Amino acid sequence: MFKRKAKAEAKAEERAEEKKGWFQRLKSGLSRSTNTISTGIGDIFTKRKLDATSLEELEDLLITSDLGVGTAARVLKVLSSQRFEKEVDPEEVRRALAGEIRDILAPVAKPLEISPANKPHVILMVGVNGTGKTTTIGKMARQLKDQGKSVMLAAGDTFRAAAIEQLQIWGERVGVPVVAGKVGGDASGLAWDAMDRAMGEGMDVLLIDTAGRLQNRSELMDELAKVIRVIRKKDASAPHDTILVLDATTGQNALNQTEVFGKIAEITGIIMTKLDGSARGGILVACAEKFGIPVHAVGVGEAVEDLHSFDPAAFANALVGLEDIEGAE
Amino acid sequence: MFESLSDRLSGVFDKLTRRGALSEADVDAALKEVRLALLEADVALGVVKDFVADMRKRAIGHEVLKSVTPGQQVVKIVGDALTEMLGGESELLSIVGAPPAAVLLVGLQGSGKTTTAAKIAKRLTERENKRCLMASLDIRRPAAQEQLRVLGEQAGIPTLPIVAGETPVAIANRAMAAARLQGADIVFLDTAGRMHVDAGMMAEVVAVRDAVQPVETLLVADSLTGQDAVNVAREFDRQLGITGVVLTRMDGDGRGGAALSMRAVTGKPIKLIGTGEKLDALEDFHPARISSRILGMGDVVSLVEKAAETIEQEDAEKMAKKMARGEFDLDDLRTQLKQMKKMGGMKGLMSMLPGMGKIQKQVAEANLSEDMFKHQDAIISSMTPGERKNARILNASRKKRVAAGSGTSVQEINKLLKMHQQMAKMMKRVSKMGARGMMPGPDSMPPGFENFMPRR
């Protein structure tokens, strides 16, 4: 998922030979809704014109992918302005639809960049409960370490039972140090200690975990704002990245999450997890359209190698059920 | 929890209530809004379509057109249909058969299975005197078993000792054996999160089910789930045969359409809802209450129950007597504010009051939360007992003193006094009219609160 081509990628490619490539995995995961959508498109457009009825049916298909009513309508408006009332075949519609979605996503596809100027480069992970923050940190730590970077983890989820242990196990697996405090301890105090240690030991990257919190719980959001203030006392430019972890199964509430976490934690990027289920993560298209916050990576499974750079063309193609999903134009 | 849906629908029905007669076009316009609202609330598209079609059938025709207030009639039709769709009556867990009975918790990753297991076990232990045992079959996620052990410790529920390297089926069998030995009534089996499209993982949980023959197989699902809710619920039910659903994160601001979707595609009841991170934040699911809340008709029953839990009986009696005499001083106001705070603050309270959907947004925007209570408490604390008994003696110089003492301003004191006056007036009215006069109309707020709203 990181910009620099490294050994890890070559390794991952080898692994992909034995296992399944991530595109295959993404695709097999996506196949469910993809099937729905593409069969749907086939049904709609075989021997038919792109008229108002078929557009409405297309809209329905996009809505079932969680694009949301507004985004789906806008995508189709563009589509219909080009092709309305003309003879079209399903393949053509699919390409056009994928093209529209890709165009929305392309500007936000930005890999995470670790700047060597930052010592350490501080990454804060935030999000609601159960989206996969800790697991994502574990995967990121491994990939960064494979790139030859020194990485430290901070177990900032002091609330949930065994969250600290969970991160410590990831630390052991990956072979990176973990700064941990007491259960029920002060998260901002832990962040301070972690900054202290990471700076003292000259780490390249510090990944800070936080407790999951619903964005409408203002006292918990205040606590998060405090964590950030404390980090800034140590390094005014930190956190250099604040990443919102979004669950692909989440519906329209993801927009609220992005808005509120954006406002309070000034998120700089998004990672979407759990794309290996039947959820399409179409809400990412709505988020991209509304907020334009960079999308760094997608999670397609529980294994370390299941965190990948975000490829908007592949994502869009898979969403509408195009076969050659690797063949980004 | 369903604010936005209730916002939108109350907007639709505001229009309807203002009309005398209801044409087919009116119904169509309303249904278009209903469709959009439900979709924005993440209700699955297929479910929305069925619902809207059903509504049209019920709404258009003489039943509505002949009725005296067509708008109200439509509101009732929508409400009834939603309630029906959500399952009508609330259904509780059914733990039957010879102990130990197994309760299996399944669901996607991160849906809240482990926390839910501990919450249900705690509830059954405390309320029904059941002896519970919990075991984690999650051998995948790091420290998942440890998580359940810690929660068990916090809730005072025994957990099965962790043995490394066991398969989920082996753990489940050991848990049942241990329960028999210890004489436990119920065994909670917390499973690893899994995707319903992952055949291997689904086979694993089917094997566990076959081994323990659970009396309840609960799908734990995130109430923030989008359109995929239908796939998740349908597949878990098809492959495993669920007996009910537990919806988590109902304390979020998600619109909760997943509740409708899951119920509609599986026909299985939503049995419980998770409403917070604390281990007692678990509530029964009441379809009628939820649907009336969706419609902005308020959740008065929940409010009353919550009030009964939080308000001390004696305080309430004292207050009732004073109210009956038409007395309501600033000390009483403070007691009221404190109780409101206990009941979940302004936002929690308003989500349960009728017609509050719209103001709730304003409240959120005005950030009226805990700070306001604190300031008001400080103001009243800075008054002399005499001033609290009789607010009329507060002249300009006394107000200045109180402002300085409480770190607030004279304006804030005036606002508080105005609110007090209005509440006192209302109390008098209520004591005269009985409780029926208390329900505010759809556009009104509790008296006095408009002083704290941002000016439009």
Chain B residues with CB under 8 Å of A259 CB are none
Per-residue confidence band for A41, with pLDDT thresholds at 50, 70 and 90: low
The DSSP H or E segment spanning B187 is strand B186-190
Q: Which of B14-23, B103-112, B186-195, B222-231 shows the lowest per-residue confidence on average (mean pLDDT)?
A: B14-23
- d(CA B306, CA B349) in angstroms, rounded, equals 10
- Say yes or no to pLDDT of B351 above 80: no
Is the confidence at residue A194, as pLDDT, over 90? yes
Is residue B32 within 8 A of residue B61, CB to CB? The reply is no
pLDDT at B55: 83
Model pLDDT for residues B22-80, shown as the tens digit of each residue: 667 777 877 887 788 788 888 899 999 998 888 888 776 645 444 445 555 666 677 77
- pLDDT-based confidence at residue B9 (cuts at 50, 70, 90): low
> Nearest chain A Cα to B109, which residue?
A130
Residue B252 contacts A where some CB pair is shorter than 8 Å: yes
CB contact under 8 A, A130 and B146: no
- The pLDDT confidence band at residue B356, using thresholds 50, 70 and 90, is very low
- Superfamily of structural domain B302-452: Signal recognition particle, SRP54 subunit, M-domain (1.10.260.30)
> Residue A252 is nearest to which of B42, B44, B112, comparing CB atoms?
B42
Q: What is the pLDDT of residue B368?
A: 53
8 Å CB contact of A215 and B277: no
Question: Which two structure tokens, joined as six digits, stand for A30?
Answer: 């996506």
Q: Which of B 142-201 lie inside 8 A of A, CB atoms?
A: 142-144, 146-151, 154, 195-198
Q: How confident is the model at residue A282 (pLDDT cuts 50, 70, 90)?
A: very high
Judged by average pLDDT, the poorest of A87-91, A168-172, B385-389 is A87-91
Q: Where is pLDDT greater, at B252 or A47?
A: B252
> Is the Cβ pair A278, B231 closer than 8 Å?
yes
Nearest chain A residue (CA) to B112: A130
Which candidate, A219, A198, A216, places its Cα nearest to that of A207? A198
Amino acid at B262: M
Q: Looking up tokens 């259960």, which residue turns up?
A: A183
Q: Would you say residue A10 has pLDDT above 50? A: no
Cβ separation A162–B36 shorter than 8 A: no
Across residues A278-282, what is the average pLDDT?
89
Q: Would you place residue B231 in the very low, low, confident or very high pLDDT band (cuts 50, 70, 90)?
A: very high
The answer on pLDDT for A88 being more than 90 is no
pLDDT at B342: 63
- Please compute the mean of the pLDDT values over residues B125-135 and round it to a whole number: 94
Are A202 and A119 contacting, i.e. CB atoms less than 8 angstroms apart? yes
Each residue's pLDDT tens digit, A97-154: 899 999 999 999 999 999 999 989 999 999 999 999 999 999 999 999 999 999 999 9
Q: Which of A19, A169, A249 best probes binding to B when mutated, by most B CB atoms within 10 angstroms?
A: A249
Looking at residue B436, its pLDDT comes to 38
Q: Name which of B40, B110, B367 is nearest A130 (Cβ-Cβ).
A: B110
What is B101-297's CATH number, 3.20.20.80, 3.40.50.300, 3.40.50.410, 2.30.42.10? 3.40.50.300
| Phi and psi torsions of B397, nearest 5° | -70, -35
Residues 51-70 of B with CB under 8 A from A: none
pLDDT value of residue B375:
85
More confident residue, A94 or A170: A170
pLDDT band at B87 (very low <50, low <70, confident <90, very high): confident
Measured in angstroms, the CA of A136 and the nearest CA of chain B are apart by 12
Alpha-carbon distance B86 to B267, whole Å? Answer: 9
Q: Could you give the percent of chain B with pLDDT greater than 70?
A: 69
Find the length of chain A. Answer: 329
Residue holding tokens 């989500």? B351
Please report which confidence band the pLDDT of residue B260 belongs to, taking 50, 70 and 90 as the band edges. confident
Q: Do residue B222 and residue A32 have CB atoms under 8 angstroms apart?
A: no
CATH value of B3-85 in 3.90.650.10, 1.20.120.140, 1.10.10.60, 3.40.50.10540 = 1.20.120.140
Q: What is the pLDDT of residue A329?
A: 37
Instruction: Enumerate the residues of chain A whose CB falls inside 8 A of the CB of residue B41.
Output: 252
Check pLDDT > 90 for residue B449. no
Of B39, B226, B249, nearest to A214 by CB-CB distance is B249
Tell me the chain B residues in contact with residue A56 when contact means C-beta distances shorter than 8 Å. none
CA–CA dist B82, A63 (Å, integer)? 21
B111 touches A at CB < 8 Å? yes
Q: What's the confidence (pLDDT) of residue B158?
A: 97
| Site from A252, A261, A306 to mutate, B interface, most B CB atoms within 10 angstroms | A252
Question: Looking at per-residue confidence, does B145 or A2 come out higher?
Answer: B145
Confidence class for position A53, pLDDT limits 50, 70, 90: confident
Tell me phi and psi for residue A174, to 5 degrees: -85, -25
Closest to A251 (Cβ–Cβ): which among B108, B225, B369? B225
**Residues on chain B touching A67 (C-beta within 8 angstroms):** none
Residue A5 to residue A9: CA distance in whole angstroms? 7
Output Rg (C-alpha) for chain B, integer angstroms. 26
Query: Is the confidence at residue B450, as pLDDT, over 50?
Result: no
> pLDDT digits over B397-441, tens only?
999 999 999 999 999 899 888 888 877 777 676 666 544 333 333
For residue A307, pLDDT beyond 80: yes
Size of interface A-B (CB pairs under 8 A): 154
Q: In this complex, do A256 and B277 lie within 8 Å of one another by their Cβ atoms? A: no
Average pLDDT of chain A, as a whole number: 85
Which residues does chain B have within 8 Å of residue A29's beta carbon, measured at their own beta carbons? Answer: 195, 197
Closest CB to B143: pick one of A165, A254, A280.
A165
Do B226 and A29 make contact, defined as CB atoms within 8 angstroms?
A: no
What does pTM read for this prediction? 0.76
**Residue B369 touches partner A, C-beta closer than 8 Å:** yes
Is the Cβ pair A130, B39 closer than 8 Å? no
Interface test with B, best of A217, A253, A284, A306 (most B CBs within 10 A): A253
User: Using a CB-CB distance cutoff of 8 angstroms, which residues of chain A are in contact with residue B224?
Assistant: 128, 247, 250-251, 253-254
Q: Report the alpha-carbon distance of residue B152 to residue B156 in Å, rounded.
A: 6
Task: Determine, for residues B222 and A247 on separate chains, whether the beta-carbon distance falls below 8 Å.
Answer: yes
Cβ pair A162:B144 closer than 8 A = yes
> Could you tell me which chain B residue has the CA closest to the CA of A138?
B142
Q: State the Cα–Cα distance between residues B79 and B74, nearest whole angstrom.
A: 8
What does chain B come to in residues? 456
Give residue B19's pLDDT: 52
Q: Under an 8 A CB cutoff, do B147 and A160 touch?
A: yes
Q: How far is A110 from chain B (nearest CA, A)?
A: 26
Looking at this protein, which amino acid is placed at residue A230?
A: V
- The pair phi, psi for residue A83, each rounded to 5°, is -125, 10
Give mean pLDDT, residues B255-266.
87
When comparing pLDDT for B297 and B229, which is higher?
B229
Contact yes or no for A129 and B110 at CB 8 A: yes
Model pLDDT, residue B240: 96
Using the 8-state DSSP alphabet, how is residue B224 labeled?
T
In this model, does residue A179 exceed pLDDT 90? yes
Q: Could you state, in order of their start, the residue ranges of all structural domains in chain B?
A: 3-85, 101-297, 302-452
Dump pLDDT digits (tens) for A206-251. Answer: 999 999 999 988 899 999 999 999 999 999 999 999 999 999 999 9
What are residue B273's DSSP bridge partners? B247, B283
Sorting pLDDT into bands at 50, 70 and 90, what band is B289?
low
The top-scoring range by mean pLDDT among A8-17, B119-128, B337-346 is B119-128
Alpha-carbon gap, residue B440 to B350, rounded angstroms? 12
How much is the mean pLDDT over chain B?
A: 79
Chain B residues with CB-CB distance to A218 below 8 A:
367, 369
Confidence of residue A319 (pLDDT cuts 50, 70, 90): confident
Higher pLDDT, B1 or A155: A155
Question: Nearest-CA neighbor of A309 among A293, A327, A297, A291?
Answer: A297
What secondary structure letter does DSSP report for A204? S
Q: Measured between CA atoms, how close is A170 to chain B, in angstroms?
A: 7
